[in-house]
């Protein structure tokens, strides 16, 4: 791995080679939600829980940067391009920021989403491949949120489709991939075992505290290299206390 990419990855991953990432990138699509009405305040509250990195949009970074600790990794979401006002029921993610522009913000990595099995799969793959090429040129880690449209999964189970998506992301040039846990049984073991890059659990749906902690433990047992938490972290009354509990569930701290 190139020196620059290796150094940046070390700022995203913990000393144990795993990563707890908190994603605060939803306001670009859904508008102000709960604590995210004040970016600086929510970033500060989350940072107290000692995640390894934050996944932010430009707006969250601009208005919350003073609350980001010096030693905490920053990943910028560079895909999006739609809001809840668009009215589209289908996934319409686009690459909206280039690598050079993202680097001006001082970030350590980039994140983008791809929905495999979608009717626009080819366009998503082409855009991601171009982004991966640019990330390699600039030695910037690329985190891919690999999503699956089951209706286009060729008869595969969700577990099998996630394994295809994870490996496809790696083949396209991702350095890290995040996957949701299979909704109806199954594990992430096959997806992780067949993927040559670290896999992070993404817990997107709103869950109770113990449900999140159990999900993190299960994914870790499957071989996951960590977790990406969104509203399941920042919507808590005390995000710092909950993230401390997540770190413990990952075998960190007391």
Q: Alpha-carbon Rg of the chain, whole angstroms?
A: 17
- Residue-averaged pLDDT of the chain: 90
Does the pLDDT value for residue 12 go beyond 80? yes
Q: What is the pLDDT of residue 96?
A: 92
pTM for the model: 0.92
Confidence at 205, pLDDT banded by 50, 70, 90? confident
Q: How far apart are CA 132 and CA 146, in angstroms?
A: 14
Residues 6+ apart with CB under 8 A from 7: none
Per residue in 39-75, pLDDT (tens digit) is 888 999 999 999 999 999 999 999 989 999 999 999 9
Does the pLDDT value for residue 38 go beyond 90? no
CA distances from 5 to 115, 137, 148, 236 (A): 25, 10, 28, 33
Q: What is the pLDDT of residue 150?
A: 74
Extract the tokens encoding 64.
């919350």
Looking at the domain assignment, is residue 54 inside a domain?
yes
Between 137 and 85, the more confident residue is 137
Extract the tokens encoding 63.
């208005």
Asked whether the beta carbons of 243 and 233 are under 8 A apart, the reply is yes
Ramachandran angles phi, psi of 15, nearest 5°: -65, -20
Asked whether the beta carbons of 22 and 46 are under 8 A apart, the reply is yes
Q: What is the pLDDT of residue 153?
A: 62
Element spanning 121, H or E: helix 121-138
Between 1 and 225, the more confident residue is 225
> What's the first-to-final CA gap in the chain, in angstroms?
33
Residues 6+ apart with CB under 8 A from 238: 45
Element spanning 75, H or E: strand 73-77
Look at residue 196 and give its three-state secondary structure: coil
Q: How far apart are CA 25 and CA 60, in angstroms?
A: 7
Q: How far apart are CA 251 and CA 46, in angstroms?
A: 19
Looking at the domain assignment, is residue 129 inside a domain?
yes
Read off the pLDDT of each residue in 11-26 and give the average, rounded to a whole number: 93
Residues 6+ apart with CB under 8 A from 75: 12, 21, 53, 54, 55, 56, 107, 108, 109, 110, 111, 143
Per residue in 87-126, pLDDT (tens digit) is 655 667 889 999 999 999 999 999 999 999 888 899 999 9
Confidence at 177, pLDDT banded by 50, 70, 90? very high
Does the pLDDT value for residue 28 go beyond 80? no
Extract the tokens encoding 215.
């999900």
Q: How far apart are CA 4 and CA 109, in angstroms?
A: 11
Q: What is the pLDDT of residue 87?
A: 61
Looking at the domain assignment, is residue 254 inside a domain?
no
Q: How far apart are CA 6 and CA 9, in angstroms?
A: 5
Q: How far apart are CA 247 and CA 226, in angstroms?
A: 10
Looking at the domain assignment, is residue 237 inside a domain?
yes
Does the pLDDT value for residue 237 go beyond 90? no
Confidence at 36, pLDDT banded by 50, 70, 90? low
Number of domains observed in the structure of the chain: 1
Sign of CA dihedral 27, 244, 222, 18: positive
Q: What is the pLDDT of residue 93?
A: 83
Domain CATH for 81: 3.20.20.70
Does the pLDDT value for residue 133 go beyond 60? yes
Task: Show the domain range for 110.
Answer: 3-249
Read off the pLDDT of each residue in 128-134 and give the average, rounded to a whole number: 97
- Residue showing tokens 């982004």: 131
Does the pLDDT value for residue 254 go beyond 70? no
Q: What is the pLDDT of residue 26?
A: 75
Closest CA to 56 of 22, 33, 11: 22
């Amino acid at each position: 791995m190139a020196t620059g990419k290796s150094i940046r990855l070390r700022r995203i991953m913990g000393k144990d080679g795993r990563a707890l990432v908190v994603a605060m990138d939803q306001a670009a699509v859904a508008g102000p939600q709960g604590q995210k009405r004040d970016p600086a305040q929510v970033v500060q509250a989350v940072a107290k829980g000692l995640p390894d990195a934050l996944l932010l949009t430009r707006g969250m970074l601009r208005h919350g940067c003073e609350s980001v600790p010096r030693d905490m990794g920053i990943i910028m979401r560079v895909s999006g391009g739609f809001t809840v006002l668009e009215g589209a029921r289908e996934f319409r993610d686009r690459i909206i920021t280039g690598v050079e522009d993202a680097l001006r913000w001082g970030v350590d990595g980039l994140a983008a989403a791809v929905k495999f099995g979608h009717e626009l799969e080819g366009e998503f793959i082409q855009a991601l491949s171009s982004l991966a090429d640019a990330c390699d040129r600039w030695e910037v880690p690329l985190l891919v949120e690999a999503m699956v449209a089951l209706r286009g999964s060729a008869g595969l189970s969700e577990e099998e489709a996630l394994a295809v998506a994870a490996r496809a992301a790696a083949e396209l040039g991702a350095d890290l991939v995040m996957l949701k846990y299979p909704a109806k049984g199954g594990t992430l073991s096959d997806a992780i075992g067949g993927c040559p890059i670290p896999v992070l659990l993404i817990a997107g749906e709103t869950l109770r505290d113990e449900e999140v902690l159990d999900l993190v433990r299960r994914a870790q047992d499957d071989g996951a290299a960590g977790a990406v938490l969104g509203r399941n972290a920042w919507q808590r009354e005390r995000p710092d206390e909950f993230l401390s509990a997540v770190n413990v569930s990952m075998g960190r701290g007391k």
